[in-house]
């Protein structure tokens, strides 16, 4: 009599191929085992009960592995992190050491990128020199039919029809076999393809292929969401950049430079510099609360309004911010904003400043590096009527004034006193050889305060930095 068919267990498909460690079935004609009692010895290795337990153990082990890998994947928040996690998990499932994933959404809207595991950028460049039609992932991206088990090339160098360039690259990089799977999700279609490379002739077994296919099915759905997030972030960054000055004005007596970092959710930080009558210059930095399209749009409206007020009464920064506060309170009562506006007279090397809840400017030069103390004031939109006294800043020839948004210190992730100390040290440490160049000063300060662009703080914060050097 044959062994009884395994009962269905919730969440486990009995049609899944048996795990590699499952023992052989009982021999045909064998009689069913007698149910054991408390005093009986454990069933023989070939007994039906042992077979069922072994299969269940294999399925549970596989499900546990997939659960752990998908848990790690779902914790990734950026597309680059998700692709790297996909490569690492896939390599563990198919028993490979290296691999690459080519992202090329079928809708043509991007982003298009190639990320490698255990492959340097130069290695990826070598692989890209191989004709696309000769690569397994190229055939997938070109829309050629692929079986459910992917494309296995167990011994590349032994294939007679292998493209000569592919043979040369494989020998140079030291891989002898590959296994490739398509990356596609329901509703979005093809996203790309993932390939894993073996150092020796090899190919994944049936169980490995099945688990890798299950994992990529889930991974593709998660990556499709990350692709949409990445596209949204790119659109937000583009929209924010379009609302900011594409270039700064040239005014005798001063040199200007700027830096702007947009957070992944899109924020409302801005900077501005505009020529004013009498050879003066209006300087502004500010930030609107919130994030997303609403904050970016509010930033654009606020910046445009400030420019109008600056042209009409820029010589009085307090009046400019008072008008801006009234506009914000009447038109967008649910929002608040911080702002710093300065009326700059390059010929006198003087800036008259007024701030609303904003961080103080930083003056740096050969002989001194110090914060310019502005009057303490609430942000715009927080009080029934805003007004605070202005201050005057007198610079020396060759000194640079740094105006920045609060995101610069918040992105450090440090307490306020330490963050401002880091900023002060960065400005004081600008090499003497580049102090004459405000662009180099701004770059040095930004890279020193935020060495990785976000440091350990909140990368969602926008950063705007405006450097003004007096000649």
Report pLDDT digits (tens) over 377-402: 888 888 666 677 889 999 999 999 99
Q: Band of the pLDDT at 1, cuts 50, 70, 90?
A: very low
Residue 82 has pLDDT above 80, yes or no: yes
Given a cut of 80, whether residue 170 has pLDDT beyond it is yes
Domain end call among 193, 209, 236: 236
Higher pLDDT: 383 or 309? It is 309
Identify whether residues 335 and 379 lie together within a single domain. Answer: yes
| 1, 56, 172 from 51: Cα distances, Å | 15, 9, 47
Residue among 181, 201, 203 at smallest CA distance from 192: 181
User: 225 and 254 share a domain?
Assistant: no
113 and 77 in a common domain: yes
Number of independent structural domains in the chain: 2
What pLDDT does residue 8 have? Answer: 37
Q: For residue 54, is it within any domain?
A: no
Please write down the HEC assignment for all residues of 113-146. Answer: EEEEECCCHHHHHHHHCCCHHHCHHHHHHCCCCC
SS3 content of the chain, % helix, strand, coil (to 5): 40, 20, 40
Answer yes or no: is 1 within a domain.
Answer: no
In angstroms, what CA-CA distances link 50 with 33, 44, 234?
11, 7, 56
Q: How confident is the model at residue 41 (pLDDT cuts 50, 70, 90)?
A: very low
Question: 184: closest CA among 106, 69, 80?
Answer: 106
Q: Which two tokens stand for residue 410?
A: 């918040």
> Is residue 24 situated within a structural domain?
no
For residues 298 and 269, state if they share a domain: yes
User: Mean pLDDT over all residues of the chain?
Assistant: 84
Assess whether 231 and 254 both reside in one domain: no
For residue 223, what are the domain limits? 60-236
d(CA 138, CA 151): 11
Residues 138 and 86 in one domain: yes
- CATH code of the domain containing 154: 3.30.450.40
339 and 215 both lie in a single domain: no
């Amino acid at each position: 009599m044959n062994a009884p068919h395994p009962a269905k267990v919730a969440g486990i498909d009995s049609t899944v191929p048996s795990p590699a460690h499952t023992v052989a079935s009982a021999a045909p004609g064998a009689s069913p085992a007698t149910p054991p009692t408390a005093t009986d010895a454990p069933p023989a290795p070939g007994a039906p009960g042992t077979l069922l337990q072994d299969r269940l153990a294999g399925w549970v082990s596989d499900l546990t592995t997939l659960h752990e890998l998908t848990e790690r994947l779902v914790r990734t928040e950026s597309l680059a992190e998700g692709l790297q996690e996909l490569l690492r998990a896939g390599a563990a499932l198919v028993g490979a050491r290296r691999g690459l994933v080519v992202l090329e959404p079928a809708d043509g809207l991007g982003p298009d990128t190639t990320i490698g595991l255990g492959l340097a950028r130069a290695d990826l460049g070598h692989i890209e020199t191989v004709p696309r039609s000769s690569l397994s992932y190229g055939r997938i991206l070109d829309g050629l039919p692929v079986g459910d088990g992917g494309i296995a090339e167990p011994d590349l160098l032994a294939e007679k029809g292998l493209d000569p360039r592919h043979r040369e690259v494989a020998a140079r990089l030291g891989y002898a076999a590959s296994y490739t799977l398509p990356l596609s999700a329901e509703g979005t279609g093809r996203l790309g393809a993932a390939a894993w490379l073996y150092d020796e002739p090899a190919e994944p077994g049936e169980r490995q292929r099945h688990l890798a296919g299950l994992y990529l099915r889930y991974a593709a759905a998660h990556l499709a969401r990350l692709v949409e997030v990445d596209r949204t972030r790119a659109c937000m960054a583009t929209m924010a950049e379009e609302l900011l000055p594409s270039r700064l004005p040239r005014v005798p007596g001063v040199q200007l430079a700027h830096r702007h970092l947009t957070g992944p959710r899109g924020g409302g930080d801005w900077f501005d510099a505009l020529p004013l009558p009498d050879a003066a210059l209006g300087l502004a930095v500010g930030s609107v609360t919130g994030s997303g399209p609403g904050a970016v749009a509010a930033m654009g409206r606020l910046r445009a309004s400030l420019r109008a007020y600056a042209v009409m009464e820029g010589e009085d920064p307090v009046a400019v911010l008072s008008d801006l506060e009234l506009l914000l309170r009447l038109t967008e009562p649910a929002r608040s904003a911080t702002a710093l506006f300065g009326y700059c007279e390059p010929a006198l090397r003087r800036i008259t400043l007024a701030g609303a809840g904003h961080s103080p400017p930083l003056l740096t030069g050969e002989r001194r590096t110090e914060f310019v103390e502005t009057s303490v004031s609430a942000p715009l939109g927080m009080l029934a009527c805003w007004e605070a006294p202005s201050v005057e800043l007198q610079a020396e020839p060759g000194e640079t004034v740094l105006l920045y948004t609060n995101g610069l210190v918040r992105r450090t992730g440090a307490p306020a006193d330490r963050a401002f100390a880091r900023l002060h040290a960065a400005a004081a440490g600008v090499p003497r050889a580049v102090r004459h160049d405000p662009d180099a000063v701004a770059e040095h300060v930004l890279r020193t305060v935020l060495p990785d662009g976000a440091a350990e703080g909140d990368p969602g914060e926008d950063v705007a930095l405006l450097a003004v050097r007096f000649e």
